[in-house]
Amino acid sequence: MGCPAIAREGWVLIAGLIAFAAGIHYLAGFWWASPLWLVVLLAVQFFRDPERQIPQQDQAVVAPAHGRVVAIEQAYDPYLERDAIKISIFMNIFSVHSNRAPVEGTVRGKWHQPGQFFNASLDKASEKNERNAIWINTRDGHDVVSVQIAGLVARRILCYVKEGQPIFRGQRYGFIRFGSRLDVYLPVESRIEARLGHWVDSGSDIIGYLPMVV
């Protein structure tokens, strides 16, 4: 079963906006209601959640977020305390804000850290902003950490997976509102396909490959 066209996080808000806009339209006419209909369209755009074709290639790592790649670098993974390759994706208000699992495996750990709300396009957001991380261990024993990071406007991070449960590549596992960021920490031997400055689609674009097991 695929994801709905509109993320469930937006159903109540959009329904309320439609009811309000329709009431003003009925009582005062289209021109008075037109700003409200515009707000409805913006809300639908923000909460859209399109179907994704999930790649099936062995060892593929898919983009966990829809947005622009703002960093690809050797980094220290503070969650698993190891050297890693970090790929950062910045989501603006026009991005799809449903987050998807980059790999298939089992959720071995989960961390939530309160913090500040710097612009999520800045590198310091990875260390200073409020964030939620999950650690996924693949069947081949590789460790991947996916970190949802709040932004300047974003004030709520939602994560629906629990420690110990299986997770599938491309599975919708969370949602973050308004401009925000998502970091992925991969093993240092991974082959990176993402390109700095390029846009990627969550769940369908491959950003790298985990090392082959021999």
Whole-number Å distance between alpha carbons of 19 and 6 = 17
Architecture of the domain whose range is 60-209: Distorted Sandwich (2.70)
Residue pair 18/12 in contact by the 8 Å Cβ criterion:
no
User: 142: helix, coil or strand?
Assistant: coil
pLDDT score at 194: 96
pLDDT along the chain (214 residues), means of 10: 63 84 87 87 79 91 95 96 96 86 97 67 62 95 94 72 96 82 96 96 96 80
Please report, for the chain, the start and end positions of each structural domain, with discontinuous segments joined by +: 8-46, 60-209
Whole-number Å distance between alpha carbons of 203 and 214 = 27
180 is catalytic: yes
Whole-number Å distance between alpha carbons of 5 and 52 = 11
- Cα angle value 159/196/104 (rounded, 5°): 35
- In a 13 Å sphere around the CA of 77, the CA atoms on its Cβ side amount to 23
- Sign of the dihedral through C-alpha 198, 69, 186, 146: negative
Distances (CA, A) of 35 to 48, 138, 178: 20, 48, 20
The closest alpha carbon to 58, from 165, 214, 199, 198, belongs to 214
Instruction: Single out the catalytic residue among 98, 126, 180, 190.
Output: 180
Whole-number Å distance between alpha carbons of 117 and 124 = 10
Tell me how crowded residue 12 is: count the other CB atoms within 10 A of its CB.
9
Main-chain phi, psi angles of 100, to 5 degrees: -125, 150
Tell me how crowded residue 33 is: count the other CB atoms within 10 A of its CB.
19
User: 19: helix, coil or strand?
Assistant: helix
DSSP state of 202: T
User: 135: helix, coil or strand?
Assistant: strand
